[in-house]
Amino acid sequence: MAAKKKTARKAKPKNAFYAQSGGVTAVINASACGVIETARQHKDKIGKVYAGRNGIIGALTEDLIDTSKESAAAIKALRHTPAGAFGSCRYKLKSLEENLREYERLIEVFEAHNIGYFFYNGGGDSADTCYKVSQLSKKMGYPIQAIHVPKTVDNDLPITDNCPGFGSVAKYIAVSTREASFDVASMAKTSTKVFIVEVMGRHAGWIAAAGGLASTEDTPIPIVILFPEVEFDEKKFLARVEDMVNKHGYCTVVVSEGVRWPDGRFLADTGLKDAFGHAQLGGAATVIAGMVQRELGLKNHWAVADYLQRAARHIASKTDVDMAYAMGKAAVQFALKGHNSIMPTVERLSSKPFKWKVGMAPLSKVANVEKMMPKSFITRDGYGITNKCREYLEPLIKGEDYPPYKNGLPKYVRLKNLPVAKKLPKFELS
Amino acid sequence: MAAKKKTARKAKPKNAFYAQSGGVTAVINASACGVIETARQHKDKIGKVYAGRNGIIGALTEDLIDTSKESAAAIKALRHTPAGAFGSCRYKLKSLEENLREYERLIEVFEAHNIGYFFYNGGGDSADTCYKVSQLSKKMGYPIQAIHVPKTVDNDLPITDNCPGFGSVAKYIAVSTREASFDVASMAKTSTKVFIVEVMGRHAGWIAAAGGLASTEDTPIPIVILFPEVEFDEKKFLARVEDMVNKHGYCTVVVSEGVRWPDGRFLADTGLKDAFGHAQLGGAATVIAGMVQRELGLKNHWAVADYLQRAARHIASKTDVDMAYAMGKAAVQFALKGHNSIMPTVERLSSKPFKWKVGMAPLSKVANVEKMMPKSFITRDGYGITNKCREYLEPLIKGEDYPPYKNGLPKYVRLKNLPVAKKLPKFELS
């Protein structure tokens, strides 16, 4: 009887844990969909997929969601639903030395719930956490296969060609920049001559660069891009805007939230900081707008896209959705093959025609590495994108993947998110 | 010979003049498409359609565009192209007493180019101009059929059920509010708890009301709307936001650019004015954001949609596009039936199911009348929309009408806009 029980236990497949981390995107749920749907196809090897309620905090507080309670239709609908269906968080685990008890708690929770797979869906910070968990779990004698699923609108993860989430925000910015530019162009004779749109991207100008895609050979648009990579030069910038308006009658300025004055301060510095210690930005557009009005006397309008840009599932890039799903799917497939401490990547095979395949990167090479825009992607004058940049970006915004609609509004799913019964004592977050 | 020549002259059909006025929309070109395509079907009665380059200024300066030089495909593409294809303007003609010479100049230009139809596509100000032209032309002995084609995102024209342009901006705001709310909801546990989006609508809260559509029975969202119709009460507003966050963990604030302090100042007053003498707004969101941070200590994010909302043809409402086209088409049909000094309208027959037909209103009853939101559309507490409002708004955002795409970007048409040879001496604008 005892022997039989032991055999039964041994046969019981390990469960998986999945969590969303950091700022959400229009397609992070497509990765969740890829993870869960693929896991469900391998019930002999993966038991249940538990999700962390509000990201990694859900693991620390043992607040797990039982995704097996969700219907196949609900999980499928994740593919077209923006934001984080299980909740995400900005909660960075400190170093192993500083806060070993949180890492140990993670392992305890995983062990208590028979979790053998850790799928962590996020950016640089979560890649780091994922890496540490895989290291520590070995030491603690409870091996976890820790796999990072790439996600970030900032497109700053290394090795992978791009980060799911970026292509859709890039498409949103490219489309919106084109549309608003058509608007300004038609009003410029007697009204607004300069339109300014502020976009996300704290350290890297990937999203700002996407604004440059709005202008193409068959639809040229005078666009001035302000990259965080390029030190802001007020005089030179204003001369450029004036020149554009003189030549074309109007101009559109795409300004990254991360643009800085020569002294290093953000144009939009508000003094606030988020949980990761990053400066909380917003308002570069108003600074530029005031400058254009004051110094050039040009009537202008400004927009700040903020969350609208990263939540805009209605105009998601099909390429991006496909990649997000593929990363989630590959994470599970790699886990089933026994891989650990890795991240599936997008490997670009060619740009024209666009071909890519799923690759793999060791987390040791991903954690704490930030991918910046190559200098060769920014034109010499500092205000535009090069053909090389365009060749890189264009495939990422290709294709539309519209969600279903009901009464004029997109039908986004809300899951039941039922909790898994707790087994451990309460844990206080540090 | 002389008699024959006279007969030939008599048989030559009058040309039409079409101009776009005021702030452009996602669908004003759909109305242009309706005007031009319908006119082209009646070449026996309408000669050429000339468009004003940059709106009415094009008529005053005799800067006419010959739309007959555009291919059928180009004109068809106007239906899915946002902004003003011929250029629009913010140029208000003064009263007949103050500036008779501009009105007389219009008639002179019309006469010089054998123009018998004046289609003016705009809001309240252009309805007024259109009305005056029809009055004056009679007096001057050169009768013009002046027909106003309704357009304005502000939805403030009287008699017509709604104004083409509004339905699409309403859809954009409803969709974006839903998407950003999903984003905030998933981050609220450890990050942003309040999201603020600023929307257009100087005097009337129609667009702000559309934010309320984001929340439905199957997808409830805690939304606080700040209408220009409701005097801003800081204490009450903050209590409401705090209550929402306590109950739901997060909340979304939709704030109209037209919201005012009890002393009448706009929340966002910058002191600038546009050509119509309207205060130039922008920045109510930053005022609200600062308040929520300072008084409630709640982390928040804010967006200002500005032109993005009214240019967003990519997410236009099909109902709106259809109506915009229908108004342009009806304008020509009414002209052919001999009507003058009128505006085609949308007449709602029923809301559930939504049925409407084309109606007609005399310009004497349209000019200088601003339609406000009925009090019954705003909930008693001042922060939400009633079921009556929802019943009115819902049909207007229904249906999607996606533009074609090329390489991930919408393919919007740019016309050749070839000029018509001038026949008159130069005219200086006042």
ipTM of the complex: 0.95
**Token pair of B117 as six digits:** 């139809």
Angle at A12 between CA A11 and CA A13, to 5 degrees: 105
**If you ran DSSP here, which 8-state letter would residue A404 be given?**
P
**Interchain contact, A213 vs B408, CB within 8 Å:** yes
**How many angstroms separate the Cα of B80 from the Cα of each of B33, B43, B84?**
9, 25, 12
Of B55, B310, B409, which has the smallest distance from its Cβ to A213's Cβ? B409
Distance of CA B63 to the CA centre of its chain: 24
Alpha-carbon distance of A80 to A29, in angstroms, equals 8
Rounded to the nearest 10°, the torsion over CA B411, B412, B416, B419 is 180
The one-letter amino acid code at B232 reads: F
Kind plus residue range of the DSSP H or E element containing A64: strand A64-66
Query: Under 8 Å CB-to-CB from B368, ≥6 apart: which residues?
Result: B124, B127, B128
Q: Which residue of B has its CA nearest to A276?
A: B191
Residues of A in contact with B184 (CB under 8 A): 307
**Token pair of B402 as six digits:** 């996606």
Q: What's the mean pLDDT in A124-149?
A: 92
Distance to chain B for A314, nearest Cα, Å: 8
pTM of the full structure: 0.95
Give the mutation candidate from A81, A193, A255, A308 for the B interface (greatest B CB count, under 10 A).
A308
Distance of CA B135 to the CA centre of its chain: 25
Q: Which residue of B has its CA nearest to A173?
A: B308
Helix (H, G, I), strand (E, B) or coil at A101: helix
Distance to chain B for A209, nearest Cα, Å: 15
Alpha-carbon distance of B51 to B65, in angstroms, equals 5
Distance to chain A for B348, nearest Cα, Å: 18
**Interchain contact, B308 vs A81, CB within 8 Å:** no
**If you ran DSSP here, which 8-state letter would residue B347 be given?**
E
Residue with tokens 């010499």: A380
Q: Which residue of B has its CA nearest to A283?
A: B286
Alpha-carbon distance of B156 to B100, in angstroms, equals 27
Distance to chain A for B139, nearest Cα, Å: 30
Alpha-carbon distance of A23 to A154, in angstroms, equals 10
Of B91, B306, B408, which has the smallest distance from its Cβ to A398's Cβ? B408
- Are B225 and B390 in contact by the 8 Å Cβ rule? The answer is no
Alpha-carbon distance of B66 to B87, in angstroms, equals 14
**Interchain contact, B183 vs A307, CB within 8 Å:** yes
Alpha-carbon distance of A166 to A158, in angstroms, equals 14
Alpha-carbon distance of B198 to B286, in angstroms, equals 9
Alpha-carbon distance of A171 to A213, in angstroms, equals 9
Residue A1 scores a pLDDT above 50: no
Q: Which residue of B has its CA nearest to A274?
A: B191
Q: Characterize the bridge pairing of strands A355-362 and B342-350.
A: unpaired
Distance to chain A for B367, nearest Cα, Å: 23
Q: What is the pLDDT along chain B (430 residues), one digit of tens a residue?
A: 444 444 445 568 999 999 999 999 999 999 999 999 999 999 999 999 999 999 999 999 999 999 999 999 999 999 999 999 999 998 888 888 888 899 999 999 999 999 999 999 999 999 999 999 999 888 888 989 999 999 999 999 999 999 999 999 999 999 999 999 999 999 999 999 999 999 999 889 999 999 999 999 999 999 999 999 999 999 999 999 999 999 999 999 999 999 999 999 898 775 544 445 544 445 899 889 989 998 999 999 999 999 999 999 999 999 999 999 999 999 999 999 999 999 999 999 999 999 999 999 999 999 889 898 999 999 999 999 999 999 999 999 999 999 999 999 999 999 999 999 999 999 998 7
Within 13 Å and on the Cβ side, how many CA atoms surround A91?
22
**Interchain contact, A399 vs B414, CB within 8 Å:** no
Residues of B in contact with A412 (CB under 8 A): 178-179, 182, 219
In three-state form (DSSP H/G/I as H, E/B as E, the rest C), the secondary structure along A262-329 is CCCCECCCCCCECCCCCECCCCHHHHHHHHHHHHHCCCEEEEECCHHHHHCHHHCEHHHHHHHHHHHH
- Are A82 and A42 in contact by the 8 Å Cβ rule? The answer is no
The one-letter amino acid code at B427 reads: F
Cis amide linkage into residue B353, ω under 30° from 0: yes
- Are A65 and A417 in contact by the 8 Å Cβ rule? The answer is yes
- Are A413 and A101 in contact by the 8 Å Cβ rule? The answer is no
Query: Under 8 Å CB-to-CB from A66, ≥6 apart: which residues?
Result: A48, A50, A418, A419, A420
**Interchain contact, A180 vs B302, CB within 8 Å:** no
Distance of CA B136 to the CA centre of its chain: 26
Residues of A in contact with B215 (CB under 8 A): none
Of A171, A187, A304, which has the smallest distance from its Cβ to B303's Cβ? A304
Q: In chain A, what is the greatest distance between 2 CA atoms, to the nearest angstrom?
A: 89
Query: Under 8 Å CB-to-CB from A115, ≥6 apart: which residues?
Result: A14, A15, A16, A17, A50, A109, A144
Q: Which residue segments constitute the domains of chain A, with CATH numbers given? A: 14-151+315-369+402-410 (3.40.50.450), 166-313 (3.40.50.460)
Neighbours of A245 (CB within 10 A): 18
Residues of A in contact with B183 (CB under 8 A): 24, 82-83, 307, 310-311
**Interchain contact, B179 vs A400, CB within 8 Å:** no
Q: What's the mean pLDDT in A354-381?
A: 95
Q: Band the pLDDT of A133: cuts 50, 70, 90.
A: very high
> Which among A125, A128, A154, A322 is annotated as catalytic?
A154
Distance to chain B for A222, nearest Cα, Å: 15
**Token pair of A254 as six digits:** 């795409």
> Which among B44, B63, B125, B154 is annotated as catalytic?
B154
**Interchain contact, A408 vs B394, CB within 8 Å:** yes
A154 is catalytic: yes
Please give the pLDDT value at position A175.
98
- Are B64 and B115 in contact by the 8 Å Cβ rule? The answer is no
